[in-house]
Amino acid sequence: MAAHFRTRQRQWDDGPVAKNTMWGGRFGGGTSGVMDAINVSIDFDRRLHAQDIAGSRAHCRMLVAQGIIGAADGERILEGLETVEREIAEGTFPFRREFEDIHMNVEARLRELIGDAAGRLHTARSRNDQVATDFRLWVRDALDRLQGEITALQAVLIARAEEHAASVMPGFTHLQIAQPVTLGHHLLAYVEMLGRDRGRLADARERMNVSPLGSAALAGTSFPIDRRHTAEALGFDRPCENSIDGVSDRDFALEYLAALAILAVHLSRLAEEIVLWCSDQFGFLRLADEYSTGSSIMPQKRNPDAAELVRAKAGRVIGDLNALLVVMKGLPLTYGKDMQDDKEPVFEATDTVTLCLAACTGMLESANFRTDRMLADAAKGFATATDLADWLVRALGLPFRDAHHVVGAIVKRAEGRGCGLEDLPLAEMQAVEPRITETVLTVLGAENSVRSRTSFGGTAPENVRKAALEARRRFLT
């Protein structure tokens, strides 16, 4: 066992790593390779570079405005940050693992560019409030981008709903044919789900939009900083009220991940229906070649792999939420190095959901709906039985429970004849309830059924057209 450990350790440890000059004054030597491997975060937190530079600019300008550092040093710092930003954009910035994270990499490069003035930038600031600020900015930016991606999917769903406002399909409960609905009505259900997802993200944005910058390590600072100045410069509504909360809070990331997990579940449900509808057993939908794959052995196969992968990736996003919940659940205030592991779940979930939204948008935009097959299936399973029961209530004054019993007996007769309710002879119906007249035929049949569902939020084509227009107003304008 010990030999195995030594073998594993050699994969990381080739002797002590050089002492970090950014914080190493307290230490006599470097860290081990194992410590370096577990401690370094630059491999993933380099994604915070734009937010780190923005936060440093705001902090620098505030320090100058408050007379904490001189104007000349402030100007050199800002010029150096502009050079760092350009180097990162051009791909020439020297990301180095010995500086651990994005914050120290930027500061180290700044010192190389402008000399000792770079050391003044960290006045009245800690990596604790720096990373908390950067991370909030990153999540806020990602959230804003996702709002646009969700809106794009809603736009496609609304357009397809308008196209298919009168296309009849079976509606299901328990995955059994229940009542006829329109395809447009079905698609608009997902528009509403996505609208709530956007609402959750907007709510999360409002709560997260407070600035931790100036909280320093945990207790604030003795320098006469202006936290409202930096908050306003970075687009925050206000500075956070409590410095301890400022550096230790990751609620914003948890709430963001929770919203993404719910969104991923909605996308997974949509993807599951695409998978079902593409099957030969349903035959409601044909995916474009761009979103389908074949089989290595069965040449006839067209697999809806894009939809299947969207369905699978919901599990990853749910896992990312769980991962961060577990990281945070037992941490005392304020900051612990555990919180370095807050970023990877957020980065992964954001990338995953962004990809899934693009896949769903592409699949639905290019999908070919087989409305003839949908209409044929809508007539199966005695889907207009409830329409018949409603007619008995309206036309004959039967209590609904009595009508329900009568229709059950009529369905049994139709089942015995192997026909649908609309094809059952009137005499057969009258054998169960003599007062039934031929006007009952006006409510039977799938198309008659959907036309009758005119209650608010119902599936009637005229309702769907109005609902699609209203959805455009609420979500796309």
Residue 195 Cα distances to 26, 367, 467, 474, angstroms:
53, 22, 14, 9
Q: Supply the residues annotated as catalytic.
A: 174, 295
Measuring CA to CA, which residue among 157, 163, 166 is closest to residue 187? 157
Question: What single letter denotes the amino acid at residue 457?
Answer: G
Residue 55 Cα distances to 137, 184, 213, 256, angstroms:
9, 47, 8, 21
Give the relative orientation of helices 183-208 and 127-163 as an angle to the nearest 10 degrees: 160
Question: Torsions phi, psi of 173, nearest 5?
Answer: -130, 140
**Residue 198 token pair:** 């956007």
**Under 8 Å between Cβ of 208 and 139:** yes
CA distance 388 to 409: 12
What's the longest Cα–Cα distance across the chain?
100
**Residue 12 token pair:** 């990381």
Token look-up 């003035």 returns: 117
Residues in contact with 439: Cβ distance below 8 Å, sequence separation at least 6, in sequence order: 395
Tell me 302's DSSP state. -
Q: Using only C-alpha atoms, what is the Rg of the chain?
A: 31
Helix (H, G, I), strand (E, B) or coil at 181: strand
Residue 324 Cα distances to 5, 44, 319, angstroms:
29, 16, 9
**Under 8 Å between Cβ of 186 and 270:** no
Exposure pattern of 269-284 as b/e (b: 16+ CB <10 Å)? ebbebbbbbbeeebeb
CA distance 285 to 279: 8
**Under 8 Å between Cβ of 213 and 59:** yes
CA distance 331 to 159: 48
Tell me 279's DSSP state. S
